[in-house]
Amino acid sequence: MLRTLFALTALFSVSQGAFAYLDPGTGSMILQGVIAAIAVVGFTIKSYWYKIRSFFGKGGSASLLDDDEDGQRSE
């Protein structure tokens, strides 16, 4: 067991350079994914906030899609 642990430690401690290259398109895709994740988290929090607020009777609709007849959200 000790020999295996030592061999794995030696194997992972000695490495060579990868010489990897990330082009601008890859960086742009990563940035787009981060921005999209932030937007999804914000919308999810906002939609649950309306549900929680409606549950405790603070007024407002239970959903972002529920509107009054005149197109305004009731408060």
Tell me the per-residue pLDDT of 49-73, one tens digit each, with 9 for 90 and over. Answer: 888 888 888 655 555 565 555 555 5
Determine the residue type at 15. S
Phi, psi of 71 (to 5 degrees): 90, 0
pLDDT of residue 70: 52
Angle at 22 (CA atoms; ends 28, 20), nearest 5 degrees:
165
Q: Whole-number mean pLDDT of the chain? A: 81
Give the total number of structural domains in the chain.
1
Whole-number percent of the chain with pLDDT over 90: 29
Residue 48: which domain range? 22-59
> Within a domain: residue 74?
no
Give the single-character DSSP code of 68: -
pTM: predicted TM-score of the whole model, two decimal places: 0.47
> Within a domain: residue 47?
yes
> Within a domain: residue 16?
no
> Within a domain: residue 7?
no
pLDDT of residue 64: 57
> Within a domain: residue 43?
yes
Residues 35/41, Cβ–Cβ less than 8 Å: no
24: enclosing H helix or E strand: helix 24-55
